[in-house]
Structure 1
Amino acid sequence: MNKEPLWTKDFISVSASNFFLFVAFYFLLVTMPIYALQELGGSSSEAGLLTTLFLLSAIIVRPFSGQWIEQFGKKKVLISSQVMFLAASLLYFFPDTLVTMLALRFLHGIGFGMATTATGAMVAEIIPDSRRGEGMGYYVMSTNLAMVIGPFLGLTVMQQWGSFPMFIICIAISGLALTAGLVIHVPEREHTARAMSIFQMKFHAKDLFEFSALPIALVGGFFSIIYASLLSFVSVYAEELQIGEVASYFFVVYAVILLLSRPFTGKWFDQYGAHVIVYPSICLFAAGLFLLSQTETALVFLVAAGMIGVGWGTLFPSFQTIAIQEAPLKKKALATATFLSIYDLGIGVGSFIIGLAVTGMSFSALYFYCAIYVLFGLFVYFYLYARRKQREHHTI
């Protein structure tokens, strides 16, 4: 039997649009704190608010984005949010105080939250059902690659040429995201054409969150707390180990190993189901963190990166795929918004908690305890999701 096509023009375009959105996000994630300290005269805590407010606005807007997608259609929400994202990028030249920059970051986060929710809803419609795990794996790979390219490009531009070229390049990246979004074609359901006023929003919990996606979203949020420790502190840990020269390669190895494993893990998800993929990936994620906690050399540091890349890099798209599969057809956009909101909340909470934790322990101890925490995630996944699915299976 011939497989349904996966690598269509629309799948490539939505993945490209998502890629450029996240390149811009990570590009500014690593450069804005430096800009705030050096050119706006802010403190370290104030510089950190530039990221916090961006993520906060993205989290707040996502549940509403799910409603807007159902009312107006995925394409309209995507293009309007990408225009907002590009417009915010154009405004970075003007703020000359930290307060005005914080306001701009909040606005930029709204565009980002809406756009990434829309691309997630679009890809769920574009991927054939028979290749859902494989397709979501490749789609999330665009985010993983952006996580490598964005910080590397941002720091290089900031260090070599300064802030003005940095903002120019950010505008160009945002423009590429919009360009890729414009060529996507996704059939809209008839009821989305009956557009309601944007102010006629529903504020009931069932209208803001897709409850079928909550269990797996909570599992994803549980693990994203630990992922925040890697985003925030793995380069600092490398400096402490006196292998700072390889710190930038951590996520490069992470992405390369993940890319090599993706053709297998995505297909296995579709063939054998989520449990066959999730349990080993949790163990591999924990093993990678344990190895990271024990490392003293650059080689072991990078081997740990590869293990974490396969472990967490497989878990995230698996969880997002489950969230989409659990939701009814007309609620898949809201399920995407629910999953990403809780995931982002985990990143935000994790950054704060881990930041407090490192003041009282070494990074080696931190990652050792992170490994134990991730292993405990085996039980979290079982009790929040797998056990319920087993019960449903037995009642059929």
Structure 2
Amino acid sequence: MSDISLSSSKSRQHSSSRSVKQPIFTRSFNMGFLSSLMLRANFYLLNIVMAAYCMTRFHASVSVAGVAVGVFTIGCLIARFLGGPAVDKFGLKNITYVGFAAVFVASALGLFGLIFTLLIGKEEPEAQREADMMMDDMALEANAQPVDFSETQATKSPAAKEPGTMRRMVNKSLELSVLPVGFVVFISYLAYGAICSYLDPFSVQLHLTSVGQYFFVVYALAMLVTRPLTAKLLDHRGPAPLMLPGFAVLAVGVGMLGIAPNAETLLIAAALIGCGIGAIQPTGLAMATAHMPKERFTVANGTSYMMTDIACGISPIIFGPVVSAIGYRGMYTVLIAVCIVGAAVFAVLHKKGRV
């Protein structure tokens, strides 16, 4: 009995020391964070200025410029589907190197991302780390049976064993149960995609270019402030008190942007839009993964972000002709209606228990 107690005590000490010796901010984490920052900064910078650049540099119409932005974003979506099988075949790091090399060919930030990626050290595989920790915990049980960790949880999941290549590919890339709430978030990102694509030429038209460059800074700060409150309300009140007001605030922000007579109104609109998206997007993501088994978290997240990518991709294509027909201010009026539709869709799905 004393031997078991001694063994348990040593195991706890070993497990405790193991957890203490695994800091979050390792070199690999820091380099990975910086490379991801370069990649996302590159994406958002291009997404914001591409329409105005096409119109200025190539004298393209608003509709054609919108198609250019849409194709750019849809290309990112296609890469999501191709990336999974490619990673399985060639390895995560190799695909990351190839991706950053391709970005470097086109872009002031791809080079830095590639350098940071090359500086990422060799990490112990996540599956092996979890296996070691599980073995430590099992040492506390005198009659515990050995566990085979040669397969990851993902490969043991029912979805991974289903017959049929096409079904396996769908299950690996999509979580169909996410689609209802994903569609709600999709509607909000139709408005967001139009704002991103056409803010630059709109601010030029208003002679507020110097202020327009701070639009997304204010937007990001508003989202940052909103996130903690969003999480707290979601835990205590559920999604409805967040989603419906989120769409309402987004609609007000879009409306203010459409009638903005000066810099102050433009920045207030940015803050309201940030608060609206800051309530809708994380709430939708939380709802998408709330009842997911651990092995499907990644697929559920990917499906949710896929919906936002699709929305951002087709939004400039849809609203380019709208701008040509009724102007930027008219487009923002239409976006108010989009927000109202989003709120209505959520209310119906929530009432039916689908989200």
Confirm or deny a common fold (TM above 0.5).
yes
2:215 pairs with 1:250: yes
Question: Per-residue deviation at 1:329?
Answer: 2.1
Q: What CA RMSD, in Å, does the superposition of the two structures yield over aligned residues?
A: 3.9
SS at match of 2:165: coil
Aligned partners of 1:80, 1:236: CA distance in 2, in Å? Answer: 38
Aligned to 2:25: 9
> What aligned pairs does 1:161-310 form with structure 2 within 5 A after superposition?
167=107, 169-176=109-116, 179=119, 186-187=126-127, 190=149, 191-192=151-152, 202-204=165-167, 205-310=170-275
Q: Deviations over 1:244-283 (max 9, x none)?
A: 3211111111112222333322333334332232222111
Change in Cα spacing, 1:256 to 1:207, as seen in structure 2 (3 Å) is closer
Question: Per-residue deviation at 1:202?
Answer: 2.9
> Conserved in 1, the CA contact under 8 Å of 2:260 and 2:266?
yes
SS at match of 1:360: helix
Aligned to 2:43: 25
Aligned to 2:310: 345
> Conserved in 1, the CA contact under 8 Å of 2:218 and 2:267?
yes
> What aligned pairs does 1:96-175 form with structure 2 within 5 A after superposition?
167=107, 169-175=109-115
Aligned partners of 1:35, 1:239: CA distance in 2, in Å? Answer: 12
Aligned to 2:5: none
> Conserved in 1, the CA contact under 8 Å of 2:253 and 2:270?
yes
Change in Cα spacing, 1:237 to 1:30, as seen in structure 2 (3 Å) is closer
Aligned partners of 1:38, 1:301: CA distance in 2, in Å? Answer: 23
Match of 2:100 among 78, 86, 90: 86
Q: Deviations over 1:151-188 (max 9, x none)?
A: xxxxxxxxxxxxxxxx4543113433565696697447
Change in Cα spacing, 1:181 to 1:337, as seen in structure 2 (3 Å) is farther
Aligned partners of 1:238, 1:184: CA distance in 2, in Å? Answer: 49
Q: Deviations over 1:67-102 (max 9, x none)?
A: 777x689xx53x33321222213434xxxxxxxxxx
Q: Please tell me the residue identity of whatever aligns with 1:372.
A: A
Aligned to 1:102: none
> Conserved in 2, the CA contact under 8 Å of 1:213 and 1:326?
no
2:338 pairs with 1:373: yes
Match of 2:293 among 328, 331, 342: 328
Question: Per-residue deviation at 1:297?
Answer: 1.5
Aligned partners of 1:35, 1:236: CA distance in 2, in Å? Answer: 9
Q: Please tell me the residue identity of whatever aligns with 2:105.
A: L
TM-score w.r.t. the length of structure 1 is: 0.64
Change in Cα spacing, 1:388 to 1:231, as seen in structure 2 (3 Å) is same
Aligned partners of 2:265, 2:69: CA distance in 1, in Å? Answer: 31
Aligned partners of 1:308, 1:314: CA distance in 2, in Å? Answer: 10
Aligned to 1:98: none
Q: Deviations over 1:34-71 (max 9, x none)?
A: 888999x89678876664444333322424555777x6
Question: Per-residue deviation at 1:303?
Answer: 0.6
Aligned partners of 1:347, 1:184: CA distance in 2, in Å? Answer: 36
Aligned partners of 2:290, 2:121: CA distance in 1, in Å? Answer: 24
Q: Please tell me the residue identity of whatever aligns with 1:9.
A: F
Question: Per-residue deviation at 1:311?
Answer: 0.7
Q: Please tell me the residue identity of whatever aligns with 2:42.
A: A
TM-score w.r.t. the length of structure 2 is: 0.70
Q: Unaligned regions of 5+ residues in structure 2, if any?
A: 1-22, 131-148, 156-162
Q: Unaligned regions of 5+ residues in structure 1, if any?
A: 1-6, 93-166, 391-396
Aligned partners of 1:366, 1:34: CA distance in 2, in Å? Answer: 16
Change in Cα spacing, 1:318 to 1:35, as seen in structure 2 (3 Å) is same
Question: Per-residue deviation at 1:21?
Answer: 2.1
SS at match of 1:295: coil
Change in Cα spacing, 1:168 to 1:241, as seen in structure 2 (3 Å) is closer
> Conserved in 2, the CA contact under 8 Å of 1:281 and 1:311?
yes
